[in-house]
Structure formats: C-alpha cells, structure tokens
Chain A
C-alpha cells in the first residue's frame, strides 16, 4: 500500500468500568482500511468487533471509555476532535448501519422525513432540490417506486427494504467510509444476498470504503477484500480473504474455519475449540488464545506481536516468529 490508508486504528483500547471490575473490551486493536476497500471485521460474540466500530465513530458512552490508542481518518486524529466536529463527521464522512434497521429507524417519521433531515444536517439545500436528492438516493439503493417509499413509515416496509432505506440515509452525505455492523444478520438469505450485492455495487459506483462487521465467515468470503479476525479484544489475524481461506495464519482462524459445517464432509465430526474465551476482567499477560490452542508453546505466555507472513497476511502467533512488524 503506497498511499496512506483512509482509516488507521492503532493500539486501540476500550475499557468498561463495571461494579465487578474493569472489562477490557479492546486490548490494543490495530488495523487499517484503504480507500475503496471492503474490510471484514470478524469474530465470535464478545470479541470486540462492534465495539471497534463504535469506537471509530467515538460512540463509546460511559461506563465505557477509550483509554488508549489513535484513530486516524483521512489525515485527522479523531481523538482530538471536539463534539461539534464529531457530529459533522458522524453521518458525514463516516456513516454507520446496524443489524436491526427496524430499531434504527424512527417509527414516527416517514422515510422521506428521516432522509431529508439527515441531508439537511450536512448540506444547505431545501425544497424540490432536497426532495429530488432524497428520491435519487432511494433509487440508488434499489428501492422500487421511490416516490411511494418517500411517504411510507418504517413499519410498512419489509426488513430488506428498511435496510435499504437505512443505507440510503447513510449514503446521503457521501461518506468515505461506511461501517456496517451485521447489516444482514436479521434478514433472510435471499434478502441478504440482495443487500450484500448492493454494498459491493456501492463500492464500485462510489469508491466508498466499507467495514463489514460480521460473525459469518461465508459473508466475508463473498464480499470483502480483506479480513481482520478479532479474538478477546485483539487482532489475531489480518489477511486478504484469498490468503485467509487458503492458509489461515492464526490457530484461532484455522479452528473457526474447521468448525464450519460447509467445509466438512457430511455428518463428519466438526472441529471444536475446547475451553472458552477468557474473561474480559482478568489480565491476559500472554496470548489470549493460548489456553485453547492446539499448538501452544512456552513462549505463548508472552503477548505475541503481529508477525508478517507475506505481503497479504499478518498473524499474532509465535509460530510465525522471525519477522515481527
């Protein structure tokens, strides 16, 4: 990568201060997103993938806190921005969509009202120009009969159409980066395919970068250029999808792939990962995956840095010791 990435996150720490102790949700996350790139952020429940998305938008509320780390976006340090500047950024250059569009849309306003309200936040257009702009956006996301959709309330739309409306709202300010947090998890597969196609088409048409947060490696394989695998609040592996699926660099990635029924012979025993994810409260001095790892070594009691395996792949595992980045 020659040009500077659009987004770079380095050593990001997020802690939730709870009565039973500090929960360290992110323990030093590093990754970057290039212009026009679709990066998957994957991992199991509690690994920190959604928190990472929210932290980029600086949407961590108390008792949560970003305790450390840098988020560089398009040359600016997001940690240094004040609240008004952040308001311009959110839904401006960086937009976000969520798992449940029915909950993200306001049930009391029509799609048109919600869409134009967001456009007016970032632009000074009014009247017919505003309306035309909104209708164009609804058409861009593949909603049939934008004029009708403009006047409907969210509950009158199906889940897939609600998600399209959310995407239209997210796109209204021409963002450079779209953070999509499990955008298809609540949808049926045929509708999921439509939404994923829409996201990749938007990238082609607008050159937008997308962070796709998902628990589903199959979606990553079909949609993303690169994938960042999170485990217990840290990056386990960062690789092009080609490399990740062909030769996973981290034992956790390998185990995740082996647990997928689609990759196994029918009725064969699936690989399981013994043990469980360490609690977020306890300090994890070494590799967080060591207690479940089939290849654990003495050195794993120390924290592994990200090792570079090749041009397209990095993994935080001492098995690749030799060339730390």
Chain B
C-alpha cells in the first residue's frame, strides 16, 4: 500500500432504529473507524452485530443518530439527499443477493447504464460504448446485454451488480456479503475479479462478511463486531495469528477449516447473542465470555492497543491487569 491517506473516517457513530411506542434501539453505538485509500477493510461478525447497518450508514443510506462520517475529509453524516447526490458517485454498494438488488424488469444494458443516465450526460452512442467497456471489465459477454436478471446465473448477476457499482468510477465500494449466495467455485471467480478490479482502479473496499476464511483471504485489515460495537481491529495477519479479544478467539475457533489434520482448538461459546434492544451492561460480551471477570459486568472496557496498529476492547488487555 502506498502513502496511507485516510479515505473514510468514522467517529463515535451511533445508529438507532425507531419503532412507534418503543424507545429507539441503538443498532450500532460508539463506532470509530478509519479506512485507508486503496485498502480492503474486512468487517466480520455474526447476524445482528450491525455490520450491514455500518455499511449502509457510512454510505449514507441511513442517517446516524450521532457521530461523524468523514469521507475524503468532508463530514457527510448530516448532509441531506440533495447534498449527498454528487457524493453518491464516489461510493457504491454491492449486496448479497443480486436477484433482489437488480430490478427484475430491466435488461442488463439498462441496469448497467442506469447510473450513467442518472449522473452523466452521455449521448446514446457513447453510452453504448461505455456499457460495453463495463461489461468487459467485469468479464461478461456482450451477448448478455439484452437478458433480464432471471436469465442470468448467480455469478453473472453479481457481475452485473459490480458493473453498476463501477460505472461511475467510485472511490469506495461497500461489498455486503457479495458472494454468500454463490457456490464456492463461482465465489472464487467473483473474489478474483474483485481483487483484479481493485488493483486496476485502486479501489477501496469495505468488505462485509460472516465468512472468516474469505475475509482473511481478501482483507488488509479486519474489524470484528459484536452487538453493535467494534471489539477488535487490526492488520489481517496479526488478528488471525494473535486474536486479542476473546470473541475473536471464539470466532476463529468456531470456524471450521477445510483440513481434517488440523483440528481446531476448542473454544465453543455457550449460549447465543443477547438481544440488541437490551445489551448487557459493562462489556457486552461478558454473558458469553469464558474469561469473564468482576469488572466486565460493571465497566465497558476501553480500547487497548496490543500493538500500535492493533486495537481491542477487553479488560484482559489492560496492562495493569494482574
């Protein structure tokens, strides 16, 4: 990675979901995050941890209740739709299921040229050429131009979604489980394509996934989320080799590995994730933590830094801890 400019800075971010007659539920709370230009930051965590909400909030599909989102230096947390419009070009999202994210009544060429129509003023010939280039870029044959999404395979449809995302030369792409609906051989094609596109266009990825094997393969740094908070963040190799937070350790231990000779260490968590509407006091992980201490039930752990690049929120990391 060349000079590490920060592309996206998130400070003290809180997103609340509101429903009538009930107190707002903070789905993510107190998130701080830097995403460097040209890197892939992997976000992992289990269902309901807030990883998707985070991705939708930093691209301002959601408005945060509190906090800053600095994109290229500009705070976009409280911009309105009109002010956001020019910025939409710069950040794009790709979702898990292309068959629900692509309009079933639009043909491939219309799907891919839709962002061009919305944001640029191109003549029909130029647009045609542009679409051809985009299709080529994502490895789709020209013949698919006039197909509808249901006439595509899952891998092809996800390539169309990627072509749409690339259409306006974005700087940041949020990839929300982009291969979870695909078979492993097709997943491999999409992952290869993503890595290739990143190299060619110096793209920055926020890669959201529950699949640790995949995250490990594609990310430069990873952030681990639990119940709406980031519990650990650091360089990919380091977090995998020396996970600092017990939750990360448990996630790694629970992830099956495709090698029958290398049996995983047993650290199977008891119970399930508590509900987000009433998170446990103190450390949110204390109800499932095998190393829980008295202080964990009372005080939320601050951020500790095992190394300058590597941070985790756990009382065990307190240098004053015995």
Contact = CB atoms under 8 A, between A and B. Distances in A.
Interface of A: 44-45, 158-161, 188-194, 196-197, 215-219, 221-223, 241-242, 245-246, 255-257, 259-264, 266-267, 269-273, 276
Nearest to A184: B256
Given A261-B191, A261-B213, A272-B192, 20 more contacts: A44-B183, A189-B46, A190-B251, A191-B272, A194-B269, A196-B256, A197-B268, A218-B255, A222-B256, A241-B260, A245-B259, A256-B185, A259-B184, A259-B185, A262-B258, A266-B216, A266-B237, A269-B195, A272-B189, A276-B153
Contact of B210 (A161, A189, A256, A260): A189
Contacts of B216: 261-262, 266
Contacts of B254: 189-190, 192-193
B213 A219 contact: no
B212 interface: yes
A245 B257 CA distance: 11
A262 B213 contact: yes
A45 B272 contact: no
A197 B195 CA distance: 35
A272 B192 CA distance: 9
A260 B258 contact: yes
B264 A222 contact: yes
Interface of B: 46-47, 153, 183-185, 187-189, 191-192, 195, 210, 212-214, 216-218, 236-237, 250-251, 253-261, 263-264, 268-269, 272-273
Given A190-B251, A259-B184, A269-B195, A221 B272 contact: no
Contact of B47 (A188, A215, A257, A261): A188
A257 B214 CA distance: 14
Contacts of B210: 188-189
Contacts of B257: 218, 221-222, 262
Nearest to A257: B258
A44 B185 contact: yes
A221 B188 contact: no
Nearest to B262: A221
A255 B260 contact: no
A99 to B, nearest CB: 14
B195 A267 contact: yes
A103 B195 CA distance: 38
Contacts of A219: 256
A256 B258 CA distance: 11
Contacts of A276: 153
A197 B261 CA distance: 17
B315 to A, nearest CB: 21
Contacts of B213: 218, 260-262
Best-buried of A160, A191, A242, A246 by chain B (most CB within 10 Å): A191
Contacts of B268: 190, 193-194, 197
11 contacts: A159-B272, A190-B250, A190-B268, A192-B254, A192-B256, A218-B255, A260-B258, A261-B214, A262-B216, A266-B216, A266-B237
A185 B55 CA distance: 23
Contacts of A245: 258-261
Q: Which 8 A-B pairs have the closest CB atoms?
A: A261-B217, A218-B256, A193-B254, A262-B213, A270-B188, A188-B46, A259-B188, A44-B183
Contacts of B185: 44, 255-256, 259, 272-273
A215 B211 CA distance: 14
A242 B260 contact: yes
B152 to A, nearest CB: 12
Contact of B184 (A189, A242, A256): A256
Contacts of A161: 272
A34 B130 CA distance: 59
Contacts of A191: 272
B274 to A, nearest CB: 10
Contacts of B269: 190, 193-194
A272 B258 contact: no
A12 to B, nearest CB: 23
A158 B258 contact: no
Contact of B258 (A218, A266, A267): A218
Contacts of B188: 259, 261, 270-273
A279 B8 CA distance: 46
A215 B183 contact: yes
B217 A190 contact: no
A215 B217 contact: no
B209 to A, nearest CB: 11
